Amino acid sequence: MRLLTCVLALVAAGTTAAAPLADLGSLLQDPLALLTKLPLGGLLSPTSTAPTGTSPYGPTATPQAPGSEIPDGQGHNFNTPSGAVRFPWNYNNADGVVPITPRASNGGWAMSPDQKCVPNSWCPYACQPGYYAAQWDPAAALYNGPGSMNGGLYADASGKLSKPFPARPFCAPGMMNAQIRNTLGKSVSACQTVYPGNEAMLIPSVAAPGGTVSLNVVPSTYWLGTSAQYYVNLAGSSADQCIWGNADKPVGNWGVFIFGAGQGKDGNTYISVQYNPLYLSAGFKAADAYNAKIVCDAGTCNFPAGGECKCEKGKCSVDNGCTVTLAAGAKASFVIY
């Protein structure tokens, strides 16, 4: 799980070491791993420019005003178990925070349903599609270290919450340059992992039938340069399927696709699509699911050799998945069909 989460994070960190020739054969079997060895964009040669007349790409987000005050959470009836810290937001709040399973033990926090936000701990929260949580432990400096769980707000010994970066909003707009375009007759949910946090795929972006939904494409300034990862469920799914699944239940981390998105330090954005290895290893057939491809909606998008990036009828255009580079100002869609 953690390795998959960090693949595009390494790209966003600006890796520039060239791959040794001795490693190239094995790396070609895993193009996402190859991205961690080659200069950014090194394999992405064919260029696609959106045709003239492309329709405007979705809504433009308005950054929310920073503020250090944390709401009191009064007025909602979310679950707050004994010994837990109350979730400070209600539905439809001005900060763009989205409650996660508020009736469960987590009570709205971006934590697994059986987890509680308790004193002397960090408590992550989720943001609306297209936005990222801009608060985390400033001392957390390792992908795999103890601080990798420390996202969100800190609850002190008395349960009082504090905002580690007072000048930042709770939720900040991402790059606003990638979305899901759903051409199917049923809704599809993409579930972002909570990182820093417990890495469960809990944060929903749901594309309605025939509709679109923005994805949170985090900027290069996000925590340690990490990227966003989405487990994408089967057709007919909703936010309720943004949970930890299992081999008998292909939802959440057993969803059919994994989408990745993040900005590199070079200013380009890198987005990727692949079939989920867990879905395949459980015996589910990718060919029985819908298809997914990345298309360029505006600006300049660099595609892998062959000029396309798609996973269709159980096979991807590049083995094990592919990545597309979006130059500054470019926008793209993950089209599911």
Q: Kindly give the parts of the chain with pLDDT less than 70.
A: 1-68
pLDDT of residue 90: 94
Q: Identify which of 105, 73, 106, 104 has the alpha carbon closest to the alpha carbon of residue 91.
A: 73
pLDDT of residue 301: 98
pLDDT of residue 22: 29
Identify each DSSP E strand in 109-149 by its residue range.
121-123, 126-127, 131-133
Q: Identify which of 123, 96, 95, 120 has the alpha carbon closest to the alpha carbon of residue 107.
A: 123
258-293 CB burial, b ≥16 within 10 A, e <16: bbbbbbbebebbbbbbbbbebbeeeebebeebbbbb
What six digits make up the tokens of 186?
């049923």
Domain ranges of the chain: 2-57+177-336, 66-171
Question: Can you tell me the distance from the alpha carbon of 171 to that of 63, in angstroms, rounded to the nearest whole number?
Answer: 9
Span 221-280, pLDDT tens digits:
999 999 999 999 999 999 999 999 888 989 999 999 999 999 999 999 999 999 999 999
CATH architecture of 2-57+177-336: Sandwich (2.60)
Question: Amino acid letter at 297?
Answer: D
Question: Can you tell me the distance from the alpha carbon of 180 to that of 189, in angstroms, rounded to the nearest whole number?
Answer: 10
Q: What is the average pLDDT score of the chain?
A: 84
For residue 127, list its beta bridge partners: 97
What angle (nearest 5°) sits at the alpha carbon of residue 164, between those of residues 159 and 165? 145
pLDDT of residue 68: 61
Q: Identify which of 322, 273, 272, 332 has the alpha carbon closest to the alpha carbon of residue 300.
A: 332
Q: Identify which of 55, 49, 56, 113 has the alpha carbon closest to the alpha carbon of residue 79.
A: 113
**φ, ψ dihedrals at 6, nearest 5°:** -90, -5
For residue 272, list its beta bridge partners: 260, 323
What angle (nearest 5°) sits at the alpha carbon of residue 201, between those of residues 107 and 301? 135
